[in-house]
A and B are shown apart, each in its own frame.
Chain A
Amino acid sequence: MEPKEYRQRVRRMEQPRPVARNALWAFVVGGLICVVGQGVQSGLMSLGYDQESVKAPVSIILVFLGSLATALGLYDRLAKLGGMGANLPITGFANSVVAPAMEFKQEGPIMGTGARIFQVAGPVIAYGLLTAFVVGLVRFAISGGKP
């Protein structure tokens, strides 16, 4: 059999992913994490934070919650169910930093944890920063930086 023909057969016979179920759980898990975020934000604002100053503490608290769940070995189970619903929120970003930190402690604090802590989150930060740089450059070229 030709390799191409075989590859087509593999695609045809591949067990399909449970798309509807995955999508539903991604929606529910992701939505609920955002509700927690909204709750943290509302709570802090009732303590006197304003719309702008609340952003950093909300991030810190959500990152803490995601990190704690990862350290307790719960976040991978949540993500198995919720998929992108657990990966996309900032708690998932925390998971993507804490998981390799825990995993690679075996190779030592410097070349293990230290060197590999951003193994998963690194690309997100790198290309996010690059995009922001390009967007800023365009704005700078158009308006000289004025809003």
Chain B
Amino acid sequence: MSAQAAPALAQRGHLRLDAVIGAAATVVGPFEAKGPLGHLFDRVVKDDLCGEKSYERAEQCLLRGAVELLLDRSGVGAADVDLMLAGDLLDQITTTNFAGRDLGVPLLGLYSACATTSESLLLAGLAVTAGAARQAIAATASHHNAAERQYRYPLELGVQRAPTAQWTATGGAAFLVRPAGEGLARMVSATVGTIQDYGLKDPNNMGAAMAPAAADTILRHFRARGQTSRDYDLILTGDLARAGSPLLEELLAEQREHPGERLQDAGMLLYAEEQDVHAGGSGAVCSALVLASLALPRLRRGEIRRALLVATGSLHSPRSYQQGESIPTVAHAVELEAIS
């Protein structure tokens, strides 16, 4: 590592950003609308098919809907979008690329499982910071029913889920990233995660598998910035849920970081206890929905000054699990601050 590194790359994987999140848009399924954040989402689809003939197409409909709503509300035409960075959970990220057919914007498809939210945001921020895009879109989508049939069991199959299992969120979310000006929050910096694998194999306990990735990225981010958790009003992880969050707290405490109430998890905020989603929410869109509906509005109103989004992803596939492989995980962090 050279001390004379490029200005954008102060430390390995740490990126200085100079961009704002200009606007955000969310579309959710009916089940998510019943959760505690339900009234904060922009649009709720009537049923989980979104008027389509398959759940895969429904997921595309959610992503497309979020992007169209975003363009609509920010008065930006698709022709003015220089770059779109988006991802989802389905095989070959079909949701993103199929939805892209109708959007007509330069599109890069991404995959970091549920860490795709921060991956797409940090890459959009980087493109804008580097002057490569004047307006970039970061977006994610996931669908419970489509994820179940890919990762787990047929919907009607009688299966008793483990208490540590998580519920894939149904929705789409999109963010408009610009160089400067009006907006919801400023993107200051980001830390790209390294892949962590502590040998955990249970896809019904992804929170535990992902907690070390979150801890590693958070600590690396603090080190690169000379910060501690006290510099933040909110550290939003997504989605460690009830199984992973206490593990993250312990891992941070061992490094003498005690974020306390500042540490919140998107998977635990999206659903209510009585919705019976076991350990909490997950899915590529889960942290994006909580960011858009809860964290960004609070940053814009100045209720919180600085927030760290730490989206985490389990990078296994159904096949890797069947072959007995452990679950590699990753977390990417994006540091946001209030504009005014």
With both beta carbons as reference points, the residue of chain B lying nearest to A5 in the complex is identified as: B198
With both beta carbons as reference points, the residue of chain B lying nearest to A77 in the complex is identified as: B158
Q: Mark B156-177, 1 if CB is under 8 A from A, else 0.
A: 1111111110000000000000
CA A78 to CA B157, docked complex, whole Å: 10
Asked if A120 is at the interface of the complex by the 8 Å CB criterion, the answer is yes
Q: Helix, strand, loop or mixed for chain A's interface? A: helix
Q: A6-B212, A79-B159, A79-B160 are in contact. Are A99 and B154 (CB under 8 A)?
A: yes
Contact of A87 among B158, B200, B212 (CB under 8 A): B158
Contact of A18 among B156, B163, B243 (CB under 8 A): B163
Interface residues on chain B, size class: 20 to 34
Contact of A13 among B163, B198, B246 (CB under 8 A): B246
With both beta carbons as reference points, the residue of chain A lying nearest to B242 in the complex is identified as: A15
CA A8 to CA B63, docked complex, whole Å: 39
State whether A98 touches B156 (Cβ < 8 A). Answer: yes
Contact of B156 among A7, A15, A86, A99 (CB under 8 A): A99
State whether B163 touches A92 (Cβ < 8 A). Answer: no
- Residue numbers of B with Cβ under 8 A of A are 53-56, 149, 153-164, 197-200, 205, 208, 212, 242-243, 246-247, 250-251, 254, 279
- Residue numbers of A with Cβ under 8 A of B are 1, 3-4, 6-7, 9-10, 13-18, 22, 70-71, 73, 75-76, 78-80, 82-83, 86-87, 92, 95-96, 98-100, 102-104, 106, 119-120
Please list 20 pairs of residues, one from A and one from B, whose beta carbons are closer than 8 Å in the complex, sorted by A's number: A1-B254, A6-B198, A13-B246, A14-B205, A15-B242, A17-B163, A18-B163, A71-B156, A75-B158, A76-B159, A78-B158, A86-B158, A96-B158, A99-B153, A102-B154, A102-B155, A103-B154, A104-B154, A106-B56, A120-B157
